[in-house]
A = this chain, B = another copy of it.
Amino acid sequence: MPSPIPPMSVRPKNRPAPVAWLLAWALAAACLLITRSAGASSLPHGDEAAPAAEDGYRLWLRYVPVEEPWRSRYRASATGLIGAAAMEASPTLRAARAELVRGLSGLLGEAPRAADAVTRDGAILFGTPRSSAVVKSLSLDLGAVGAEGYLIRTTTIHGHRATVIAANTDIGVLYGAFRFLRLLQTREPIGHLDIAASPKIRRRVLDHWDNLNGTVERGYAGDSLWKWETLPEHLSQRYIDYARACASIGINGAVLNNVNATPFILTPLYLGKVAALAGVLRPYGIRVYLSVPFSAPVTLGKLKSADPLDPRVQAWWTAKAAEIYRDIPDFGGFLMKANSEGQPGPEDYHRTQAQGANLLAQALAPHHGIVMWRAFVYTTGSHSEDRAKQAYDTFKPLDGKFAGNVLVQVKNGPIDFQPREPFHPLFGAMPRTNLMLELQVTKEYLGQRTSIVYLGPLFAEGLRDDTWVKGAGSTVARVTDGSLYGERLTAIAGVANIGSDRNWCGSIFNQANWYAFGRLAWDPDLSARQIAGEWVRMTFTNDRRFVVPVVKMMMGSREAVVDYMTPLGLASQMAGTHFGPGPWMAPAKGIPADWTSTYYSRADAGGIGFDRTATGSNAVAQYAPHLATQYGNAATCPESLLLWFHHLSWDYRLRSGRTLWDSMVLHYDQGVASVRQARKTWSSLSPYVDRERYRLTADFLAIQEKDAEWWRNASIAYFQSISHRPLPAGAAPPPDTLAHYEAFCIPYVEGSPGTRPACPPADVAVPR
Contacts and interface: CB of A to CB of B under 8 A. Distances in A.
Interface of A: 1-5, 27-28, 30-31, 33-48, 52-55, 57-59, 61-64, 91, 94-95, 97-99, 101-103, 105-106, 109, 111, 211-215, 222-223, 228-230, 233-235, 237, 240-241, 244-245, 262-264, 266-270, 272, 283, 296, 299-302, 449-450, 500-502, 692, 695-696, 699-700, 702-703, 746-750, 754-755, 757, 760-762, 764-768
Contacts of A749: 229
A582 B99 CA distance: 48
Contacts of A61: 39-40
A28 to B, nearest CB: 7
Contacts of A768: 269
B234 A699 contact: yes
B767 A272 contact: yes
Given A211-B755, A703-B234, A755-B215, A2 B38 contact: yes
A48 B98 contact: yes
Given A41-B2, A223-B222, A755-B754, A269 B764 contact: yes
Given A40-B57, A106-B38, A748 B228 contact: yes
Quick one: which of A1, A31, A692 has the most chain B CB within 10 A?
A1
Contacts of A502: 1, 502
Given A37-B101, A703-B230, A2 B52 contact: yes
A320 to B, nearest CB: 12
A58 B40 contact: yes
Contact of A35 (B2, B99, B702): B2
Given A37-B101, A39-B61, A45-B98, A268 B766 contact: yes
Given A54-B1, A223-B500, A757-B262, A111 B41 contact: no
Contact of A31 (B31, B40, B214): B31
Contacts of A98: 42, 45-48
Nearest to A103: B37
Given A1-B502, A39-B102, A264-B747, 14 more contacts: A1-B55, A1-B692, A2-B36, A2-B52, A37-B106, A38-B58, A38-B64, A42-B98, A43-B237, A48-B98, A211-B755, A212-B757, A229-B450, A233-B703
Contacts of A35: 2-5, 31, 35
A755 B755 contact: yes
B3 A3 contact: yes
Given A2-B38, A54-B1, A264-B764, A94 B45 contact: yes
B34 A264 contact: no
Contacts of A267: 761, 764
Nearest to A300: B761
Contact of A41 (B39, B58, B262): B58
A141 to B, nearest CB: 29
A748 B264 contact: yes
A41 B3 CA distance: 7
Given A5-B39, A38-B2, A234-B700, A767 B95 contact: no
Quick one: which of A41, A696, A749 has the most chain B CB within 10 A?
A41
16 contacts: A1-B41, A27-B31, A27-B34, A34-B106, A35-B35, A38-B62, A39-B57, A40-B61, A40-B241, A42-B98, A42-B241, A45-B240, A46-B94, A46-B95, A229-B748, A235-B699
Nearest to A755: B213
Contacts of A111: 33, 37
Contacts of A1: 3-4, 41, 52-55, 57, 502, 692
A95 B48 CA distance: 11
Nearest to A240: B44
A263 B761 CA distance: 6
A155 B373 CA distance: 78
**Nearest 5 A/B pairs, CB to CB:** A37-B105, A31-B31, A39-B58, A38-B106, A234-B699
A229 B506 CA distance: 11
A272 B767 CA distance: 8
Contacts of A59: 40
Contacts of A54: 1
A245 B40 contact: yes
A696 B234 CA distance: 7
A432 B222 CA distance: 46
Contacts of A91: 45-46
Nearest to A745: B269
Contact of A2 (B53, B95, B235): B53
Contacts of A767: 268-269, 272
B500 A222 contact: yes
A742 to B, nearest CB: 16
B45 A62 contact: no
A269 B237 contact: no
Quick one: which of A59, A222, A245, A268 has the most chain B CB within 10 A?
A222
Contacts of A237: 41, 43-44, 53, 55, 692
Nearest to A272: B767
A760 B298 CA distance: 11
A689 to B, nearest CB: 13
B302 A762 contact: yes
A438 to B, nearest CB: 25
Quick one: which of A95, A262, A760, A761 has the most chain B CB within 10 A?
A761
Nearest to A31: B31
Contacts of A36: 2
Nearest to A271: B767
A272 B213 CA distance: 31
Nearest to A30: B27
Contacts of A755: 211, 213, 215, 754-755
Nearest to A301: B762
A765 B54 CA distance: 45
A222 B500 CA distance: 8
Contacts of A761: 262-264, 266-267, 296, 299-300
Contacts of A53: 1-2, 237
Contacts of A702: 233
A81 to B, nearest CB: 12
